Amino acid sequence: MINGTGSPWERLDRLRRERGLLTPTELLDLADEGTAVLDPFSVLVSRRVELHPGVTLYPGAVVECDGDSRCGIGAGTTLYGGARIRATGGALVTIGRDTEIGDGGARITAAGDGGIRIGDGVRISGGAEVIGPGLLGAGSQVLGPVSARSADLAAGRPYTHPDPDHRGAVLKGFGRAHGIRLGPGEVLNGTGDFATAPVQRQRHYHPDAPHLPEPQAPADRL
């Protein structure tokens, strides 16, 4: 229980420790390991979260992981202020390298056996919600106010790749999307009812993009 003794700084530290969170000082110390926490007072990170070098946490980012769960965030990944990641009940959340989460808001929620694996170079933004279980392959994207449960998005090249046929799968639009499976270069643009939305090639939205040879080394599944 937090009492009124000690300085405000000490009281804040106790409050966070009792909830299994890193203190502002501990968040600042992560800079020595290559992690940039831009505002240690508004960022919340559980002690069980593994942050790799090069991670950037914008003001307001939250990563909660209870004592039975695990959460790892790969090198070079950015969590914007709208990012909320929560793992409970023994869930596992793994996030790859150079991923962008939370620009415009994003929630990632995993509980129990419903773990979530997110590959390298993934984007989750614009109010998107990903609920476990879920598998988001390298280069895939979830864009807009989509609530995606049990999604399986195939890996591919990142969204910056010039040929959309080789990019990771994209789920975008708005509404609830349950059990969606998409292949490389595919996109599902839902407007409330994803069950009736047609799966399209991303090239449909980029008709003038170049046609490049299939990469010799396929992108990792994650």
Tens digit of each residue's pLDDT (9 = 90 or more) over 172-194: 999 999 999 999 999 999 999 89
Q: Specify the higher pLDDT residue, 219 or 55.
A: 55
**H-helix or E-strand containing 28?**
helix 24-29
Q: Which residues pair with 140 in a beta bridge?
A: none
pLDDT at 127: 98
Express each pLDDT in 118-176 by its tens digit: 999 999 999 999 999 999 999 999 999 999 999 999 999 999 999 999 999 999 999 99
What are the boundaries of each domain within the chain? 1-124, 137-212
Residue-wise DSSP of 136-204: E-TT-EEESSEEEES-EE---B-TTSS-GGGBPPEEEEEEEEES-EE-TTEEEEEEEEGGGSPEEEGGG
Q: What is the pTM of this model?
A: 0.93
Report, as an integer, the average pLDDT of 58-87. Answer: 98
Q: Is the pLDDT of residue 1 over 90?
A: no
Q: Which residues of 168-192 are buried (b: 16+ CB within 10 A; e: fewer)?
A: bbbbbbbbebeebebebbbbbbbee
Select from 67, 81, 101 the least CA-distant residue to 38: 81
In percent, how much of the chain has pLDDT > 70? 95
